[in-house]
Amino acid sequence: MDLKLDHRTEDRLTIVEVEGEIDVYTAPRLRELLIDLVNKGNFHLLVNMEKVDFLDSTGLGVLVGGLKRVRAHDGSLELVCTQERILKIFRITGLTKVFGIYASVDEAKEAHGRDK
């Protein structure tokens, strides 16, 4: 399955919807979107990965790159993910300590609201 990307902004939080496979072939498109969002002043990003079928280290690199960019503007990049197959790669690489990972968009929005 190819990669589908969409985004919307709610209360200063930009929600990026990702669907499909994030790998060495498709990851550049996600990277371009994250860079574009940051360049347009969106510094608080929430990447919803509930419809992601596959994620490899190339995709992790793109997310880490996005996190670096938003942090340079005192921003945040957090994730929504409950799929064990995707969470496993975050655990293996220790990146669960780097990203905030939430069970739903609503839960992430609530936490974001508390932190504002």
Report the distance separating Cα 47 and Cα 12, nearest Å. 14
Strands 13-22 and 4-10: antiparallel
Distance CA 94, CA 114 (A): 26
Per CB under 8 A, the list member of 25, 82, 103, 110 interacting with another protein is 25
Q: How far is the CB of 84 from another protein (least distance, A)?
A: 9
Tell which one of 21, 87, 100, 101 touches another protein (CB under 8 A). Answer: 21
Please say which residue, 41 or 94, places its beta carbon nearer to another protein.
94
Which residues sit opposite 9 in a β-bridge? 14
Contacts with another protein by CB under 8 A lie at 21, 23-25, 31, 54, 56-58, 60-62, 64-65, 68, 85, 88-89, 92-95, 97-98
